[in-house]
Structure 1
Amino acid sequence: MRIGIFGTGDMAEALGRHWARAGHELMVSGRSSPGPLASRLGAATGTWQETASFADVLLLAVPAGAIGEVLAEAGPLGGKVLVDCSNDPALTGAPVASRIATEGLVVKGFNLAHVDVWRMKRPVFDGRPLSVPLCGDPSAVDVVSRLVRDVGARPVFAGDLSRAALLEATAAFAIGLWFAGEDAQAILAPAG
């Protein structure tokens, strides 16, 4: 699969490493120089528009506030799958990407775990692979599910894009607990 990565930060690198190991072709663009990250991933670099044209799937790994500018510069998306891993601190309802992208198929995912989880070779806890909720059009979620499996996690269809706001609210809740020193995994533990 051809994956375009919009962003050069930690999430872009952590997920990009998994996808490069899985044999996907990658192209990186960013607000800062994409060259160093592309070199570490064995990827090509391009402008926003070149990366969008290249990719089957685009990872939006830029701050929520920058998504509008990035997508405007990327140009027409022609039904491409857009993976939005950001969390909008304003929690204004639908994810930022879905409020802006009119031609792409937005999938909300990869936003509940800290970047250190994505840096793990396989995110497995107590023998269980990490489950990754995905919200979006079912055909787009099927595509992103493959990318979830490529990082060693388990995809979970969590509903259409209208439910993505719940994922962002869950992230805000859980991350707040973690920063307060609480064990969020114990709070959100499965039934035994």
Structure 2
Amino acid sequence: MRIGVLGAGVMADALGARWAAAGHELMVAGRTAGKAEALARKWGCRAGGFREVAEFGDVALIAVLYQGMPATLAEIGEALRGKPIVDCNNPVEIEHFTLVTEPGRSMAQDIELATGGHVVKAFNLCEARVWQMDPPMFDNRRLVVPYCGDHSAALDMTRHLIADLGGEPVPIGGLRHAHHLEAMAAVVISLLFGGRDPYTVFNLVDRAAVSIDA
């Protein structure tokens, strides 16, 4: 599969590195050209501009901080119209850990409206280090990865991409549910900023304490 990675931050790196290792063909763009070029060298692929990368992929991953999303979408323009898009972003401000989108509206829906593509919300509930695990296993069970969207082909591609990381794909319905995933992410992010271990964010048992007592 040809994957256009739009963004060159830690999430783009975590997901892109695993997909490259799984044999997918990648191309990457970033707001900082040096970061994109460094990822391209790491993954063994090419870097390019946002529009070029959007046109390259059979599917695109958008992994951009919400503050830079409007400028990124403006650069992409019409290049993603009709294409599957995976959105892993969270429009969450980190002072009060609340959503910055309109009430009841998701960033995923805004991306779909802006691009004309077929957006699937996925990969937004875990910190980047979890996606670096090969595979992401907890208590000998695969990580459950919820995803949602309205387009069958885009959903199928996303299901394969989740499975390629070793996750357990769990469809939760149409794109309207992206708002709930983003709201859930606000809780997760608040816990991470509060010092919770990214690997056990919902686990009240401290992993280090368990290993000491064992």
Rg bigger for which structure? Answer: 2
**Distance in 2 separating the partners of 1:18 and 1:59:** 13
Worse-superposed segment, 4-13 or 171-180? 171-180
Q: Deviations over 1:156-188 (max 9, x none)?
A: 10111111110011111123234334564236x
Alignment of 1:50-65 (within 5 A): 50-65=52-67
Counterpart code for 1:63: L
The residue aligned with 2:86 is 83
Q: Which structure 2 segments of 5+ residues have no match?
A: 93-99, 205-214
Counterpart code for 2:16: G
- What SS class does the counterpart of residue 20 from structure 1 fall into? helix
> Please, which of 106, 109, 118 is the counterpart of residue 105 of structure 1?
118
The size of the alignment, in residue pairs, is 187
> Please, which of 124, 135, 158 is the counterpart of residue 137 of structure 2?
124
Shift of 1:138: 4.5
Question: TM (normalized to structure 2)?
Answer: 0.82
Q: Deviations over 1:81-123 (max 9, x none)?
A: 1111110012533332421433101111101001110111110
Counterpart code for 1:67: M
Counterpart check, 1:17 vs 2:17: yes
Give the share of equivalent positions with the same residue, in percent.
47
The residue aligned with 1:185 is 202
**Distance in 1 separating the partners of 2:89 and 2:61:** 10
**Distance in 1 separating the partners of 2:52 and 2:22:** 23
**Distance in 2 separating the partners of 1:88 and 1:78:** 22
> Please, which of 35, 46, 49 is the counterpart of residue 48 of structure 2?
46
Contact 2:5 2:63 in 1 (8 A): yes
Question: TM (normalized to structure 1)?
Answer: 0.91
- What SS class does the counterpart of residue 111 from structure 1 fall into? coil
CA RMSD, 1 decimal: 1.6
The residue aligned with 2:39 is 37
